[in-house]
Structure 1
Amino acid sequence: MRHLVSKAIESLPKLDSGQINNLISILAEEVKDIELLEMVLSSLPFGVIVARPDHYIQFMNIPVKRMVPLQQKGLDKLKAWEVILDSDISNFVKESLLEAETVKPRDFTLETLNRDITLAVGVMPVVKEGSIQGDFIYIEDVTDKRLEEARLRRAESLAAMTTMAASVAHEIKNPLGSISIYLQLMQKSLNTDSESCRTDLEDYLSIISEEVERLNSIVVDYLFAVRPMDTHPIPTSINSIIEELITFVQYELMEAGIKVEEYPGKDLPLLNLDEKLIKQALLNIIKNALAAMENGGTLTIRTYEKDNMVHMRIQDTGIGIPADLVSKIFEPYFTTKDNGSGLGLTVVYKVIKEHGGELRVFSKEGEGTTFTILLPIPQTVNKLLVWKGETI
């Protein structure tokens, strides 16, 4: 728009009255388009601030004036962060714009007369043909959304705790029953004068000791499943972790007649990972695959980048999982193995979630199972909002 006006002013001395009338009509239409755009932006449910390349305010819609405390005068002489009175939001906007990169939106809590509100603030540059043309700041009131998310998390946590508590009670019941039986047998032995009494008591005590260890193991596993994980993520190559893990279990896989096929992605970015926990999660999946391929088979591991995530696909050619059980495999203490703890995949799920990732599973009986792990790529690369038209 400014470019058009500049050209028009330069051409005015050369134009006749008809051409001037046409130019005025074109400019009027352009003004209408700008007014329409401003109306649209002001009708959005979130606040918008647009600034020029020098960060001075160019436009603010109506919602942002209701959400954030702002300077009331001299807005055209203030930079984007100077117009915002809240120091936390102002500093966030300033740091983001001066670093000229898109950062993950951040939540801020503001006190109001009626209640505290939570605002999600995002900042990104606007570019045209590779050069920055301005700044785009959006502010969304996410108070109700965050409250609902917290409510759902509490409900899910309570449901998970209820399910796990029931499972633990079931697991504890068996060793307690066994201990009770052998205590009764000990009591009977003590009431007799049998020469074999000492031998029987030693056997009974040995069994009771084993059951006590079993109870301890159940409690330890339960605490591991419910306590927050103490993660220490550092930039790490996922391909290196997989390579080290395959080296660690290669002899076990060879003895089981399992062939390993690796397809590591090239030039994958480093991920923020706790190497110990990720190795444990992957080892649990590989152990499951090994158990599913009793007569040998192929274990295929593939890594690649897609949609700003690094994907890991671990595929076996084992017996597969029945369709009605696939949705249950991540539940605590659910297992199809005779000697399984039922916590292996629960740990996998928890580790991946602690890293902000996703875990997917596809299985077909008689054909095998595929676990796909998605891990987020750290946002360190500049990402710009592309604007192909004129600046607002």
Structure 2
Amino acid sequence: MRLKTKLSAAITLLVLVITTVLSWLYMTQLLQQHIEQAYQSTDVIAHQLQFATREALENGLRNRQINVNDPAALRSAVADSLRRDPGLAAFINSVISYSPTVIDVAIADRDGRGIITAPDPAQEDQLLPVRPDYATLLKSSLYRTIGVVFGAPRVYNLTLGLERDNQPFLTVRVGIRNTFLKNAFYPWLSDAFTYIALAIAISLVVAVFVANLALQPLAQISARLDALSQAEPAGELDSGASTDTVLQVSHKIERLGRRMRNVEEVFSALKENLDQILSNLQDGIMLFTRDARAVLVSRSVERFLSVNRDDVLGAEVHDIFDRHSLLGRTVRQAFDAGMSVVQEEIITETGRRVEISLDFIHDDRASDNGQSLGALLTLHDLESVREIESELELSRRMAAIGRLTAGVGHEVKNPINAIVVHLELLRSKMDSESGALRHLEIIQSEIRRLDRVVQTLVDFSRPVELQLQEQDLRRIVSSVLLLASAELETRNIHLVSELPDHPVIAKIDADLFKQALLNVVINGAQAMNQGGQLSVRLTEDGRTARLRIEDQGEGIPDDIRPHIFDLYFTTKREGSGIGLAMTYRILQLHNGQIDVESKTSVGTTFTLSIPVASLSELRLRGLLETNLPAFKGPLE
């Protein structure tokens, strides 16, 4: 069934129900009102008959001698007086002739025998039939009243009494037939059916009109959907043999929904790839709309503006850049003037060298070339270029040292082994009392120390085969801090660890990463000779996990800071100069980096950065956060 037919039928049925209910309520109210009016008019007749009967008795018995103790004689006198009274007879005849509700009138004695019965005198001196009281209809329910109206013909009495010496003497009975109610009700019922039929006819016309009016927008929507679906193949455009507009619109919306979901999936994939590309950029990239609101912000912008990336998205350029800073003033003035900026170098208040490029995007097809579609802002950190060059130089030095140490290690190892063997032979041939034995032991001890140094060189230069597995960095950090806790306590160092509540998953070699982190922690502890606080904080931004190890030592002087990752470079009396170099190498093997910030007499902060596992990769591997036990740093 089509929707138009359903809608028309529903409206018609609703009108039918409402009309029927209202008509029925109206007719029942009229019926009840007619019953009450009939009762009132008949009650007036009964009282008039009662008064006429009393007058007839007074006139007929005034000059007659009656033995009141003889009931038969008294009844005979009363009957004779009533039957001979012309006024009473005339009143009864007028009631029978002209009252539409009264069917008969009777005056009976106290035993119920008729004295006057009109219009049937044959019932005189006979027991009159017992009839229900008409007053009961006034208190009857609607269901019973309808049964009386449409039921079998029946006569009801309206009765009034006359008393003598406070005892019942006569009764005046007025008979009312229920057929008069039916006769009065049938015209109303006919009119009601006429009105209902008329209402149904009108409702059908209105329903068809309303259905067409309501479905007209759906037809327009269907046409619009056809226009939007023109790119669909011919098989996709066929909505079936149905002529129902709603079904056609539903099918078209479903097809467009599938297309939108497909487009959304493609858009999500492109956005994820774009975010990944932007997150790997060192330069800050910001794309603004026509009204100067940021819609695309790379993760590197946080380093330039010191604000969260999510707080910048959607904000207006004047809300993002502070006019009190040189960078903010430059960008704001360029936007206000609508002028592009080409690789303009500025030095920020912190001494940072930043190169700014601002390009306004125009639509070449528009007639008004002065109206821009948006703007692209690029922030290039010149200091990061210098840092990258320094890291590349350090990597080249480390690679050269690795090649050198590999060759030296192999060339020196064999002579050392030969020296050790001949020292043992020489020692076995010397007398235990000889004074040269003590010098021989010194030579042997130094040879062993040289052998350990050469072995360290060989281990450092040997290629490392990483055992990469997805690990929760919170567990790695916790195990390292637990391992170092004993030495920290002996040095009177208070450890503070701040680990996130959620897992931080990275693909690492757990043993190597523990070694790298332990080297930095122990190095920080050894820098605080007088004790202090060592802080370890783990954070992540969805792309990179950062471990900040901050001590309160003497700091690293500026002249030696560039050399702290060189192999064998150390400022400690008992240091080997291998720990930080090994840490640097381990971070490189994990595609990470290590940064250092230090202030003399304040302390040093090492930051270990390492890529975290992407969410899509975790889903593919079935690694869910709910299966990872919650962990918090136990050392505080």
Shift of 1:332: 0.7
Kindly indicate whether the alpha-carbon contact (under 8 Å) linking 1:257 and 1:297 is maintained by their aligned counterparts in 2.
Answer: yes
Amino acid at match of 2:472: S
The answer to whether structure 1 residue 160 and structure 2 residue 398 are counterparts is: yes
* Cα distance per residue 1:119-138 (max 9 Å; x no partner): xxxxxxxxxxxxxxxxxxxx
TM superposition score normalised by structure 2: 0.33
Unaligned stretches of 5+ residues in structure 2: 1-222, 229-258, 278-389, 618-636
Question: In 2 relative to 1, CA 165–381 (structure 1 residues): closer, same or farther, beyond 3 Å?
Answer: closer
- For residues 339 and 353 of structure 1, the distance between their equivalents in structure 2, rounded to whole angstroms, comes to 26
- The equivalent residue for 2:597 is 362
Q: Specify the alignment match of 2:551 in structure 1.
A: 316
Deviation at 1:228, TM superposition (A): 2.2
* 1: CA distance, partners of 2:567 / 2:459: 11
How much has 1:195 moved relative to structure 2?
9.7
CA displacement 1:109-153 (0-9 Å, x = unmatched)? xxxxxxxxxxxxxxxxxxxxxxxxxxxxxxxxxxxxxxxxxxx99
- CA deviation vs aligned residue, 1:86-120 (integer Å, no higher than 9, x gap): xxxxxxxxxx98x9685789xxxxxxxxxxxxxxx
Offset, 1:234: 1.0
Instruction: Give 1:246's aligned amino acid.
Output: L
How many angstroms apart in 2 are the aligned matches of 1:322 and 1:153? 19
Counterpart secondary structure, 1:319 = coil
- Secondary structure at the counterpart of residue 298 of structure 1: strand
1:389 corresponds in structure 2 to none
Find the residue that maps to 1:359 and give its secondary structure: strand
Q: d(CA) in 2 for partners of 1:309 and 1:363?
A: 22
More helix by share: 2
Q: Displacement of 1:290 after TM fit? A: 1.4
Give SS of 1:217's match: helix
Residue 350 to residue 161, structure 1, CA distance change in 2 (3 Å): closer
Alignment-derived partner of residue 500 in structure 2: 265
Q: 1:356 offset after TM fit, Å?
A: 1.1
Cα distance, 1:357 vs structure 2: 0.9
Q: 1:163 to 1:259 in 2, by over 3 A?
A: same
- For residue 225 of structure 1, report the CA deviation from its aligned partner: 2.1
| TM-score between the two structures when normalised by the length of structure 1 | 0.51
Superposed displacement of residue 301, structure 1: 0.3
Mapping for residues 223-302 of structure 1, pairs under 5 Å: 223-302=458-537
Question: Is the contact made by 2:567 and 2:581 (CA closer than 8 Å) also made in structure 1?
Answer: yes
Which blocks of at least 5 consecutive residues in structure 1 are unaligned? 1-5, 12-51, 57-95, 106-151, 383-392
Q: d(CA) in 2 for partners of 1:211 and 1:237?
A: 43
SS at match of 1:252: helix
Cα pair 1:360 1:372 within 8 Å, conserved: yes
Q: 1:215 and 2:450 equivalent? A: yes
- Supply the distance in 2 between the matched residues of 1:217 and 1:303 (Cα, whole angstroms): 35
* Matching residue's letter, 1:366: S
Equivalences for 1:1-392 in 2 at 5 Å? 7=224, 159-163=397-401, 197=434, 199-201=435-437, 203-306=438-541, 308-381=543-616
**1:321 touches 1:363 (CA, 8 Å); kept in 2?**
yes
**Structure 1 residue 164: deviation in Å?**
6.0
Task: Tell me the matched-pair count.
Answer: 238
Q: Once the 2 structures are TM-superposed, how far is the Cα of residue 227 of structure 1 from its aligned partner?
A: 2.2
- Residues of 2 paired with 1:154 and 1:329: CA distance? 15
Q: 1:262 to 1:55 in 2, by over 3 A?
A: closer
Determine if contact 1:313/1:373 at 8 Å carries over to the other structure: yes
Contact 1:167–1:333 (CA under 8 A) maintained in structure 2: no
Note closer, same or farther for the CA distance 1:220–1:316 as it changes in structure 2 (3 Å cut).
same
Structure 2 contact 554–603 (Cα < 8 Å) conserved: yes
**Would the aligned equivalents of 2:474 and 2:504 in 1 still touch at CA under 8 Å?**
no
Distance in 2, Cα, partners of 1:231 & 1:299: 30
Greater C-alpha radius of gyration: 2
Letter in 1 for 2:504: P
The separation in 2 between residues aligned to 1:245 and 1:10, in whole angstroms, is: 65
CA contact (8 A) 1:268 1:310 kept: no
Conserved? CA contact 2:550–2:606, under 8 Å = yes
Percent identity between the two aligned chains: 28
Query: Secondary structure at 2:463's aligned position in 1?
Result: coil
Paired residue type of 2:581: T
Question: Does the aligned pair in 1 maintain the 2:484–2:522 contact within 8 Å?
Answer: no
Report the Cα offset of residue 370 of structure 1.
Answer: 0.5
- Matches of 1:246 and 1:208 in 2, distance apart? 40
Take 2:481 and 2:394, find their aligned partners in 1: how far apart are those partners? 35
Alignment CA distance shift 1:216-1:10 (3 Å): closer
